[in-house]
Structure 1
Amino acid sequence: MMSLPTARPRANTFSSGPCAKRPGWTPDALSDAALGRSHRSALGKAKLKQAIDETRRLLRVPADYRIGIVPASDTGAVEMAMWTMLGPKTVEVAAWEAFGKEWVTDALKELKIAPRVHQTPYGVLPDLSAIDTKHNDVVFTWNGTAAGVRVPNGDWIADDREGLTICDATSAAFAMPLPFDKLDVVTFSWQKVMGGEAAHGMLILSPRAVARLESHVPAWPIPKVFRLTKGGKLIEGIFKGDTINTPSMLAVEDYLDTLRWAEGLGGLDALIARADANAKVIHDWVARTPWIGNLAVDPATESTTGVCLAITDPDVLAKGDAVVAAVAKGIADRLEREGVALDIGAYRDAPPGLRIWCGGTVERSDLEALMPWLDWAFAEEKAALAKAA
């Protein structure tokens, strides 16, 4: 039997959304929230405008791009873009995990626009060179949260494109470089890399995206919470803190707190470096551990935020998919009972395995402490299998 590890992670929150709060966070960080005040009051608007301005500064968003706070988290932001901008051109959708598949469903079954679909199994990135980024609109995730697979860069996107690129960047923004010159719509939510609270999405629009909004009238109805134009012109107030629906000022304050924390670390470069270093802890452990592997097939596409792992032990694999799933769940359950790691099971629609968040709000020392516990939990599961046999 393997000995129980002695060191424990200081923080045991490794969920891929909502993600870990920043180190040192307490509810006192929210003491300056504009509670009981209208979000349309001078104070409320100032807080929302500050969130937009600090996002621009930290993410290095170009000055001529609009940034808005929108309802329904990242999903709402992506669907807002799809419902209001798609239609004039052929649409191509890249999907290699659960969330990309949702955008396929939206285009195919809801908007009924017959997209060209580039879909691959979990762990495998589609052939990006097969996507016509010059002539067509493209919808894709930068980082597949449920598969641990990301696009390595934006080189595959044409500089002289005629269509729009709509990028779901919710588990990439603040953790991976985003080439805004290649992206016309960028969306994310506060509860991913920044560890904020749920329900709020961010919508970033290039001038080309704004031109599409002002020149195109969709063939389908647009719900009120998706409407970005009035009388054929962009509703500029949305991008100055005048939100479409009522935001949580408590969540706004939480986001502002984490933006300040990130700025104190050294800004975007520091956040990216933390995610890279965190992911390296897991990838190095995988390289020396025979029973586990990365779900990502190509190392160049491995995520540095939601790292997804698959059991590779031949004895377990030989017992079939149901046993593999039971062992993976057993590992996650054991570590939760021990209070060592919470919410590290694979996404519900993904292949059975583990998923460990490595964004900048996680401390590398906590991941280093976690690795021996993973080995211990697997050894316990395998011993239980042998005993049952």
Structure 2
Amino acid sequence: MSNETTPTPELRPERPFFSSGPTCKFPGWSLDRLKTKALGRSHRSAIGKGRLKYAIDLSREILGIPDDYLIGIMPGSDTGALECAMWTMLGKGPATVAAWESFGNVWIQDAVKQLKLADLTVLDADYGQIPDLASIPQDNDVVFTWNGTTSGAKIENTDWLAPGREGITINDATSALFAQPMDWAKLDATTYSWQKVMGSEAAHGMLILSPKAVERIESYDPAWPLPKLFRIKKGGQLNRAIFEGATINTPSLLATEDYIAALEWAKSIGGLSALHARADANAKIVTDWIEATPWLRNMVPNPAQRTNTGVCMVFQGDWYDGLDADAQAAVPKTIAKMLEERDVGYDFNGYRDAPPSLRIWCGSTVEEEDLRRLLPWIEWAYAEVKAKG
């Protein structure tokens, strides 16, 4: 039942998919768009390997990845790709792991509790903040998250990474790639997953290696054992077949075709610049609305550090501030549930480890009109929750 001051909106989003991963499929997506000739075939067959290589080549083309960088398909989504980079490259010298949200903190735990790095600096910050990255020594290896998926905070630039620095840079870019520009010259190992900005099926990640990263892998053998899924060397050298369409374990060719379809859609609309522009326009709709809504604030106070993908917002104001912690936590959950029940918006409650919040995905596959239609519904739901006390 709606209250008297906030009428129920008339229009619903046509595609109410606002999850931050897996994200919305690209406009016009359907199963009919997926090629099926490789299905039921071995991933080692000419056609299977060819489709995997095509996914790699199309990724390079759209992202503008330098020709001398290698791109491999990894198991375990972005997590598998990122941990493979950590397990195979860290430990040779001093390292810094920088984090400002949930997934970055996982990499800290990996470095502290699993790899038990002897010469390790942990650099962290609260949700919505970015730590002092300029304090990281240039001879340190560094692990960082380009865009905080669960906080909505991104790095402003890569000025804190000196050209030709001695340390290796390991960049978790899963919620940034295809939406934000990458400074490839300063990135040695970059990872992402298919189900983020491109809205493809999950389970597979991508590992992008610079020549400097390849040299580290080939010249260094870590002290710890490597699971099979992280073994990217063969005979003391990088197994380059993994970066030419071979995979460490059996991939899903159906998921591969879904990723290819998303890449072909991206190419058809103008490539990377068009993807960036769509994400920027989408995020502006939501961030402008947050600024104009007195009972919300962006989780990220610095506008230069606000993402254009998973925009996170927290509640404020006398009514909300007067609630106890449990009641405050219930507000975004209740709003998200109300709108899911009405098929208005799915999966936009804040991440479980983040402060109570809403998180609206604004990446390139989302349509502006769907965002414009969602926001009045959030206002309506908030008024309903507030009216009920």
| Same structural fold, with TM-score higher than 0.5 when normalized by the shorter chain | yes
1:100-153 Cα offsets, whole Å, 9 max, x none, are: 000000000000004201111111111111112x21100000001000100011
Tell me the equivalent position of 1:255: 259
Kindly indicate whether the alpha-carbon contact (under 8 Å) linking 2:22 and 2:196 is maintained by their aligned counterparts in 1.
yes
**Counterpart residue type for residue 116 of structure 1:** T
Tell me the equivalent position of 2:236: 232
Compared CA separation, residues 147 and 107, structure 1 to 2 (3 A): same
List structure 1 runs of 4+ shifted beyond 4 angstroms.
none
- Specify the SS of the correspondent of 2:150: coil
Listed as ranges, the gaps of 5+ residues in structure 1 are: none
Tell me the equivalent position of 1:372: 376
Q: Please say which of residues 88-97 and 313-322 is displaced more in the overlay.
A: 313-322
Matches within 5 A, 1:1-389: 1=3, 2-114=6-118, 115-132=120-137, 134-385=138-389
Distance in 2 (CA, whole Å) between partners of 1:328 and 1:70 is 35
1:30-56 Cα offsets, whole Å, 9 max, x none, are: 243511000000000110000000000
Distance in 1 (CA, whole Å) between partners of 2:162 and 2:375 is 41
Listed as ranges, the gaps of 5+ residues in structure 2 are: none
Distance in 1 (CA, whole Å) between partners of 2:276 and 2:171 is 19
How many pairs are equivalent? 384
Kindly indicate whether the alpha-carbon contact (under 8 Å) linking 2:152 and 2:312 is maintained by their aligned counterparts in 1.
yes
Distance in 1 (CA, whole Å) between partners of 2:302 and 2:280 is 17
The two structures have a TM-score, normalised by structure 1, of 0.98
Deviation at 1:29, TM superposition (A): 1.5
Kindly indicate whether the alpha-carbon contact (under 8 Å) linking 1:33 and 1:249 is maintained by their aligned counterparts in 2.
no
The two structures have a TM-score, normalised by structure 2, of 0.98
**Counterpart residue type for residue 131 of structure 2:** P
Distance in 2 (CA, whole Å) between partners of 1:350 and 1:208 is 35
Distance in 1 (CA, whole Å) between partners of 2:158 and 2:374 is 33
**Counterpart residue type for residue 39 of structure 1:** H
**Counterpart residue type for residue 363 of structure 2:** G
The alignment yields a C-alpha RMSD, in angstroms, of: 0.8
Kindly indicate whether the alpha-carbon contact (under 8 Å) linking 1:195 and 1:361 is maintained by their aligned counterparts in 2.
yes
Q: Please say which of residues 227-236 and 37-46 is displaced more in the overlay.
A: 227-236
**Counterpart residue type for residue 38 of structure 2:** A
